[in-house]
Amino acid sequence: MTGKNSDKTCALFWDESFLWGLIARRSLADAGLPFDLIRAEDIRAGRLARYRMIFVPGGWASDKLAALGAPGQAALRAFVEGGGAYLGICGGAGLATEKDMGLVGVQRKPTPERVPSFSGRIRLTLADHEIWAGIPSPVFSAWWPLQFHLPAGHTLHIAASYAEALPDAMSADVRVSRGQKQGWPALEERYGILLDPLRLQNEPAVVEGKFGKGKVLLSLVHFDTPGDASGAAVLCNLWSYLMPGYPRPEKPLPIADAAAGDECALADLRRAVGDLIAAGEQYRLWRRRNPWLLEWRRGVRGMEYSTLAALTDEIAARFSSAAPLCNAGGKRLSCDLRNDLSAVRELIAPFCAKAEQLLEREKTILAEEAAPPALPADDRINRLRAELFGTSLRHGGSFRPLIAAMDRLLYKLFTAEKTSAASPAARIRNISP
């Protein structure tokens, strides 16, 4: 697996995570936990051998499987079997299940038997495990989780189960407090799906197993939710549990100002996405749920717009790291970053223009009924949605190349920033007063 003298700790799998990779990276950085970003091509090249753990955040597990390919999947299995640790959250947990990577004998509960649209804060019932040490309150966030099915005779340790959802959580676009007041049976009949979060009670939320010599810990709750103090405490405990004696990270490199040309491109990007988000708010299709997520009406592709806004904010916050790269001898990479920003800029304008047409039509259709549970069939909406997002819940249409370009840019920004921080010149800057 890894050599005794390895100074590496955790590899954060970046591919096909998008919003979920972004919040995972942010939460780990905020908690001061050491990690490197890693892509499928790195795993196929054998670079997991440098690490002690891989953390796979949320996102579509099937897309992660495709990104890894058969050689990457084999390399990941060999890493865990040889003693590496695997931490999977939400979609990352799904990747480890029996019919995907097969790291543990966990199955997915069939969709008709699940509460598929739950999101928000939920209390857990904790079993004895050192990852809960010092946790002030067992309340965490779950964001549209799958549900585990544990076969009879399994040998997994259930570290936590769901208890009760908090009143401010959501099921589809229904706040839990409102669902309790109106009655879940009537709402479930109207929506045509299971909504009552009491159906989650006593279901496994965090499980642990073994694959060869390696530990596999899977969580359906997001300890990597930004701003969650209890979640951050669990992440710190996980680092200590899965990688005993991990080294502390260096002080990060201060971020310098962006160049004037970059500011213009960034302004265009932020303006286009900001106007789009503002239009949805004006049309009452969504409102801000927290700094990185919208709360949208059922039937609207709110997750995609949330992802677009969060990626845009992070690009704007991070792109200025191109300036110190030039000072550290990274002029060519800096030019690559600017080219990638230009590519995003070219894709964003036509996407946002067409998306505003879609939002306007959705506003009109939704206004025709009093709080419908979903958008009725409409030819124009269907055409625009197919063009923008594809015809399934997975990322498709023109949205797919747009967020792929943004994702590539962010990956380069994050890794370039870390490379610059590790350079001798950066270390001198870091210790200067």
In 70-213, DSSP assigns E strands to 85-89, 107-108, 118-126, 139-143, 148-149, 157-165, 170-171, 174-175, 204-211
Contact 294, 286 (CB under 8 A): yes
Contact 319, 413 (CB under 8 A): yes
b (16+ CB within 10 A) / e for 382-393: eebbebbbeeee
Q: Which residue has the tokens 């996102």?
A: 59
DSSP 130: G
**pLDDT in 10s for each residue of the chain, 433 residues:** 444 434 579 999 999 999 999 999 999 999 999 999 999 999 999 999 999 999 999 999 999 999 999 999 999 999 999 999 999 999 999 999 999 999 999 999 999 999 999 999 999 999 999 999 998 789 999 999 999 999 988 999 999 999 999 999 999 999 999 999 999 999 999 999 999 999 999 999 999 999 999 999 999 999 999 999 999 999 999 999 999 887 655 444 333 344 555 677 888 899 999 999 999 999 999 999 999 999 999 889 999 999 999 999 999 888 655 444 444 444 444 677 888 888 999 999 999 999 999 999 999 888 775 555 666 678 999 999 999 999 887 888 999 999 999 999 999 988 877 765 554 444 333 322 2
Structural domain boundaries in the chain: 10-242, 260-431
How far is 407 from 419, CA to CA, in rounded Å?
A: 18
pTM of the predicted protein model: 0.86
How far is 18 from 259, CA to CA, in rounded Å?
A: 26
Close Cβ partners of 150 (under 8 Å, ≥ 6 residues apart): 105, 106, 107, 156, 158, 204, 207
How far is 6 from 246, CA to CA, in rounded Å?
A: 11
What's the CATH fold of domain 10-242? Rossmann fold (3.40.50)
Cβ burial of 432 (10 Å; 0-12, 13-18, 19+) is: exposed
Pair of tokens at residue 116: 């598929």
How far is 155 from 424, CA to CA, in rounded Å?
A: 49
Beta pairing partners, 141:
121, 222
Close Cβ partners of 81 (under 8 Å, ≥ 6 residues apart): 211, 212, 213, 214
